[in-house]
Amino acid sequence: MKKVLGLIAMIGACASQASTFEFVDIKSKVPSIETEIRYFGADNFVGERIDGYLAPKCLLSSEAAMGVAKAQHALGEFGLGLKVFDCYRPQPAVDHFVRWAKALEDTKHKAKFYPEVPKSELFKRGYIAARSGHSRGSTLDVTIIDLKTKAELDMGSGWDYFSPVSWPSYQGITANQRANRMLLAKVMGSAGFMGLTEEWWHFTLSNEPHKAQYFSHPVQ
């Protein structure tokens, strides 16, 4: 009986992982989009390439990719476009974050990404968790750029900046920075995405197809 249950569990896991092959490279659907996959390199809060990122690609469910295409088209009317920092994030990457957060002596990128937060409180404050919505394949981290110059619009903080300054509702930034955040939220909302109260760059497809699945297949 145990062998049968084990086989069923293994088959279920394989079927779940097979679903990741349905994810699409956003560049194949939206060629004009800019990508800077930070977890493929060292410019992130850990300071090294993150487990599970074998290529600098933005992978998303086909439904999320359609929404991104809609947002890109809307911005394109004004000479603007999207730039993504992260999309599908495999579970091994999330596990890497957890291991790093427990290594309290490793703070080499603290000044850039979490200057106001003691590393020992990253779990308590919700900046690091054992699971991420990114692992479901319909969440992305994104900003707006000028299509001609590729320059990012000023959002008042950098991506993955662990601070209330990054909250979309934060008032201690300039009117122009608040307007840029509002524009991003409006465009993504009109394309079917929901924002996050703590991160101006984070959006999840409202009707995501894999609401209860967290995938482990690498980005490749």
Per-residue confidence of the chain (220 residues) as pLDDT tens digits? 544 334 334 334 444 444 445 899 999 999 999 999 999 999 999 999 999 999 999 999 999 999 999 999 999 999 999 999 999 999 999 999 999 999 999 999 999 999 999 999 999 999 999 999 999 999 999 999 999 999 999 999 999 999 999 999 999 999 999 999 999 999 999 999 999 999 999 999 999 999 999 999 999 9
Domain residue limits, the chain: 22-205
Catalytic residues: 199
Greatest CA separation found in the chain? 65
Alpha carbons within 13 A on the beta-carbon side of 56: 12
Nearest-angstrom CA–CA distance, 50 and 59: 16
Alpha carbons within 13 A on the beta-carbon side of 26: 36
192: left (phi over 0), alpha (psi -120 to 50) or beta: left
CB 93 within 8 A of CB 218: no
pLDDT tens digits, one per residue of 1-10: 544 334 334 3
Cut 0.75: pTM above it: yes
Which CATH number is 22-205 given?
3.30.1380.10
